[in-house]
Chains A and B, each alone.
Chain A
Amino acid sequence: MSADLVIARPGLSSTLQDFGRFGYQRFGISGSGAMDVVAMRIANRLVGNAPGAAAIEMTMTGFSATVAGGDCLLAVAGAEMPVAINGRRAEGWRSFLLHDGDRIEIGAAAAGVYAYVAAAGGFAVAPTLGSQSTHSRSGIGGFEGRALRTGDRLPVVGASAGDECSLPADRRPRYDGPIRVVRGPQDDKFTPAGIATFLNSGYSITNRTDRMGAQLEGPAIEHADGFNIVSDGIVNGSIQVPGNGRPLVLLADRQTTGGYPKIATIIGADLPKIAQRRPGEAVRFVAVNVAEAVEAARERERALEAALDSIRRVAFAASDLSAERLLSVNLIAGVCSALD
């Protein structure tokens, strides 16, 4: 039997996202998609979904919702947001089997920005142009083309809810360290001093940061010859430098073309890192070549696969952790079942 998630408190900005909407950038459509695909894939594996099933992406603060109409296996992964099931505190990076009337509450992130809630079977919203990702600015995809609101009933695809699982703490992805970039495509529009400023300075994320892009604060980067170019295409991770010399990192919901020179591009493997960095936090860039960037992508894939393979069933359902239940069950059997 299928269930609905009834939103009681939507959080700052909670949108459905999958891997993104591809093939339409030539028509002016942003790719959108999860800001942290690694966390989204882990959330999906925790409920037994395909890696690219749409999940709810939460921003800085999570949502609260009640399950209505049936059972529902939900997982939370990504930024460190506190989770409570029926008022009882629970860990993230794991899945929870909820029943009709159960409540999940997800709070403000202690670290990171984006966290994901995946539901076994996925969410039943019709794809737009081949994707369930929400692009709020153009009002397409996701739940009615917008962020979730109080009272929304988000239908979960009726699937047999599976076992609760968790990701071992030592397998959680790391988001610290410098951000690797490949120089260009328009690094020739900057002076050598400008490029040195970019690579050798500390920048910080400002609060003018969202799914479209991250505005950075720090030393101004010197252009070689003006700062207007004839508009061309922009990829996820392009770093534009407009006239004020401050880098602007363009992300999933970016506009598709732009007319400022792009000094460098963040490598694919490090996109989740920049996405999870909060306003006020530091950013340093380090240049790599394309071959090194591809090797980093391969390495990230290996690490993620190893993490996904380490996911195990948990011994006790979160909703069963009452004292009476603990006293009544055979603890040894529980431990064994966690290892099989």
Chain B
Amino acid sequence: MIEGWAPPRLLDAGDGGLVVEFGDDVDEGVNMRVVALGSAIEALGLAGLKEVVPTYRSLLLVYDPLTLAPDRLRAEVGALQARASQREDNCAALGSSAVPERTDESRAIWRVPVLYGGEHGVDLDHVAALHDLSSDEAIALHSSAIYRVHMIGFAPGFAYLGGLPEALHTSRRADPRPRTPPRSVSIGGRQAAVSPPLEVPSGWRLLGQTPVRSYDPTRNGRPFLFEAGDRIRFEPISAREYERLCRAAEAGEIVAEREAAL
């Protein structure tokens, strides 16, 4: 018998916010449920629902209580959850380990080019040394994994990624930097991240820089590239290629390639 999942907790964030909490830790299965519920609630097209915000382990729904009554929203969430857990039970009964999220397998894998080390990733050598690796080995490890976007938050387009190989888990800096280079590719604890083209404060370890702009409000039809549930693979590139792609990105090109889904 496969153990079922505890139903999520519904927590009020005032009279205009509902938090659907699936767990209190960083966990891929939990995050999949968050993203799946977010997609499902969005598909209902409820009038008065203003924001659907998936994060690591909970879904925040922002609503106008004078248009969408809190009880109605709770009931809709409850009904969707009942259906989702029914589906999971069915999968379990069939002995399937299939991911519970319908949409997950169709999601993109983004190939994100990275110029590692040097001034573009000032912490690379230090991180490699901490783990008794050469810098090239650290790059190979970091670019071998497939990461999952757990959430976008903190700053526009800032992507928090799960899936960092354990051999690279590295504590954050004791003294966060007040500014870090735009488009930094970094790691912190068990997480990895891609910065937007903004100089955000960060205590994470900087491994490299990508020409990809995860956020560009002027880019036609595509101000944001990544969203929770997407997957990312990093690809080491040369300084020359980096310069070329930076120019293309400035001209509005996306420069991250989408691989066919697995």
Contact = CB atoms under 8 A, between A and B. Distances in A.
Partners in one complex: yes
Given A23-B50, A26-B51, A235-B16, A257 B11 contact: no
Contact of B152 (A27, A31, A235, A267): A27
Contacts of B154: 28, 231, 255-257
B46 interface: no
A185 interface: yes
Interface stretch (A203-211, A291-299, A318-326, A327-335): A291-299
Interface stretch (B63-71, B76-84, B236-244, B248-256): B63-71
Interface stretch (B97-105, B114-122, B163-171, B220-228): B220-228
B201 to A, nearest CB: 11
B62 interface: yes
Main secondary structure of the interface of B (DSSP, over half): loop
Contacts of A235: 13-14, 16-17, 60, 62
Interface stretch (B19-27, B87-95, B123-131, B204-212): B19-27
Interface residues of A, number: 45
Contact of B24 (A26, A28, A229): A229
Contact of A230 (B13, B25, B228): B25
Nearest to A257: B153
B53 A293 contact: no
B151 A290 contact: no
Given A25-B51, A28-B215, A293-B14, A298 B156 contact: no
Contacts of B56: 230-232
Contacts of B69: 294
A182 interface: yes
Interface string A238-267: 100000000000000001110000100111
Contacts of B228: 26
Nearest to B24: A230
A298 to B, nearest CB: 6
Contact count band on B: 35 or more
A26 B215 CA distance: 12
Contacts of A22: 50-51, 62
A265 B55 CA distance: 19
B58 A27 contact: no
B63 to A, nearest CB: 10
Given A28-B154, A128-B217, A233-B55, 7 more contacts: A26-B53, A26-B152, A181-B14, A233-B59, A236-B16, A268-B65, A290-B70
Closest 10 CB pairs of A and B: A233-B60, A257-B153, A265-B14, A293-B15, A185-B11, A235-B17, A233-B53, A27-B224, A232-B55, A185-B19
10 contacts: A25-B62, A28-B158, A31-B51, A128-B217, A231-B153, A234-B60, A238-B14, A255-B153, A257-B53, A290-B70
